[in-house]
Chains A and B, each alone.
Chain A
């Protein structure tokens, strides 16, 4: 019988074991490779079950994965779009199992709902690397490995940066939350609020959900500025909402220090916005794409008998000091 443990909270504490911990997968096996059919020069299909292509960040993950997989001769990457729907994503994972892909990469839209599907893949002998979000259970046992950032920690960093650097004298701050009741929205909101607690003179005066999208962010932040004209810092839970908030601040003729999250590259991305001086900072949410393809290579080509079961990719703070140099990359 399946038993799911209470929430991702506890899983998160496991993940907080800083950096990448090196745990041996399972019991001491007689050094069996993770995939028996592994071969130096074999042809392999990797299925990637993406949560929702409609989010720009996820499209960016797809692009990085595609680029990294192209570098490896013999790797074919297939991407399925779960379209933000746990039911669709579950059936796509099942399709990959039917196809007998050689390795499954997955960014589950939500943890608990995709847990059984991941178990089915593991039971079918397909190694599963979870990217950016986890399902329930332990890496190395319930799935092969987790690679990704840590939403709570990234937002915590943003909160601390606000407490120390942006508002050392204290003042009013506000938060734009993602889609309410979705895991990353909840984790980022809690992380930021815990981070600003370091400075008792900062009050978070307003929190509004804007569902990750810029237009709702503009509307919500306009209303916030009406109600609280003294807001000095706005933490937006993703870059898209930060862009919308900037429009609201400009419309209200206010100087607000805006912090984004994701640090997307490109002309419309967050790094550029900080470089131009529009935002105070953005905190990257690393895709882990390179690391995922690296790990796939180890498993499929190098016949690895074990891999690091948790690889936490750290966030980079994009601030006026380093933005210009990173934007030029």
Chain B
């Protein structure tokens, strides 16, 4: 197996080539390794019924991947932003806002499915682009801008919903959503694969291609690696930055639509804390908060790993407290590994 190939295949990396440093290889695949470890642990510690391993039950696997779909979609968008050394705290709130707008457009607005979905996705893109623009135009920390965006999105969601939750009922006629929308809560292929997961995986595949094979993807890495150098070599830095926030906005809106369809419900309070789960998945996936390095496959693996961990702990009836502590340990471990690699490569910090 040629290590050189691996580093080429998984997109540009900011620092020295990985093939000199086995530790860097571990970091590159830390979340995949973690996922394998959790899966093996899951199999070992899984409760059994009639010799049947519950953890590997197809229904259980479907449950794991369904549960992480929404945070997964958000984490995909977040990966772009974090590679540019930015952060987006507004995504959970935008998910809530999108679920409310989706529900109210179809239920009280009488809009059809396609116009509703398009409008919500455009809203997400615009919301993100506005944040990106403010942040680049006024040289403000994205942390601050998106913190304000979080508040704004929650406020807007309450305004749109009139402080009420909106149930989505299905059928034909005014005040009802087209029954096809409920498919987001179902499973395809002989009741095995959750539709929400299909949306997540398709989005992840597109994002991986964009990040690893397009000029835009290279720009994203360049901006995060060294903004000044990127600017000098002709990368449209502002445009790239605005675009990545538009992408996270889009991702959050998509997750909000999936949420509304899965749960037949729009609520201004939904998606609270999702931004932090998504950031955790991205960091565990080996993307550096300092920017310039990261991987989409890592993010997907990190997302599924957190879901599998929560699942195996619950199957064994272990308290949520342990789950939080285990997640904390994994985040710290991931961050420490990265920092070790950076230090070896002489990047300091």
A residues lining the B interface (CB < 8 Å): 1-7, 53, 78, 80-81, 83-88, 90-92, 94-95, 97-100, 110-113, 115-116, 136, 179-183, 186, 209
Contact B163 A113 (CB under 8 A): no
The listed residue (A84, A98, A111) touching B63 by CB distance below 8 A is: A98
In the bound complex, CA of A85 to CA of B323 (Å)? 15
- Apart from A4-B167, A87-B67, A181-B165, 5 more pairs, CB < 8 Å: A84-B272, A97-B59, A98-B315, A110-B267, A112-B265
Which residues of B are found within 8 Å of A100, using beta-carbon distances?
A: 49
Q: A80-B314, A100-B49 are in contact. Are A180 and B272 (CB under 8 A)?
A: no
Q: Does B23 contact A (CB under 8 A)?
A: no
Q: Which of B264-281 contact A (CB under 8 A)?
A: 264-265, 267-270, 272-273
Contact A113 B263 (CB under 8 A): yes
Which residues of B are found within 8 Å of A4, using beta-carbon distances?
A: 167-170, 264
Which residues of A are found within 8 Å of B164, using beta-carbon distances?
A: 181, 186
Contact B63 A179 (CB under 8 A): no
Of all A-B residue pairs in the complex, the 10 with the closest CB atoms, nearest first, are A113-B263, A91-B67, A94-B63, A180-B163, A112-B265, A112-B264, A81-B320, A112-B167, A113-B265, A98-B60
Q: A5-B169, A78-B317 are in contact. Are A181 and B269 (CB under 8 A)?
A: yes
Which residues of B are found within 8 Å of A182, using beta-carbon distances?
A: 165, 267, 269
Distance of A199 from chain B, by nearest CB (Å): 26
Q: Does B182 contact A (CB under 8 A)?
A: yes
Which residues of B are found within 8 Å of A94, using beta-carbon distances?
A: 59-60, 63, 66-67
In the bound complex, CA of A186 to CA of B47 (Å)? 41
Q: Which of B161-207 contact A (CB under 8 A)?
A: 161, 163-165, 167-171, 175, 179, 182, 185
Q: Does B30 contact A (CB under 8 A)?
A: no
Q: Does B54 contact A (CB under 8 A)?
A: yes
Which residues of A are found within 8 Å of B268, using beta-carbon distances?
A: 180-181
Q: Which residue of A lies closest to B311 (CB)?
A: A95
Q: Does B259 contact A (CB under 8 A)?
A: yes
Contact A87 B182 (CB under 8 A): no
Which residues of B are found within 8 Å of A90, using beta-carbon distances?
A: 67, 262-263
In the bound complex, CA of A6 to CA of B182 (Å)? 15
Which residues of A are found within 8 Å of B227, using beta-carbon distances?
A: none
In the bound complex, CA of A182 to CA of B314 (Å)? 26
What are 23 pairs between A and B in contact, CB < 8 Å? Answer: A1-B182, A2-B170, A2-B264, A4-B169, A6-B169, A53-B320, A78-B317, A81-B320, A85-B273, A87-B67, A87-B259, A88-B67, A90-B263, A91-B67, A91-B310, A91-B311, A94-B66, A99-B47, A111-B167, A112-B168, A113-B263, A113-B264, A179-B269
In the bound complex, CA of A84 to CA of B273 (Å)? 10
Distance of B74 from chain A, by nearest CB (Å): 12
Contact B264 A98 (CB under 8 A): no
Which residues of A are found within 8 Å of B167, using beta-carbon distances?
A: 4, 6-7, 111-112, 136
Contact A92 B170 (CB under 8 A): no
Contact B170 A3 (CB under 8 A): yes
Q: Which of B39-55 contact A (CB under 8 A)?
A: 47, 49, 54
In the bound complex, CA of A116 to CA of B267 (Å)? 17
In the bound complex, CA of A116 to CA of B169 (Å)? 13
Interface centre among B70, B164, B170, B268 (most CB of A within 10 A): B164
Which residues of B are found within 8 Å of A99, using beta-carbon distances?
A: 47, 49, 54, 315
Q: Which residue of B lies closest to A207 (CB)?
A: B163
Interface centre among B158, B163, B171, B311 (most CB of A within 10 A): B163
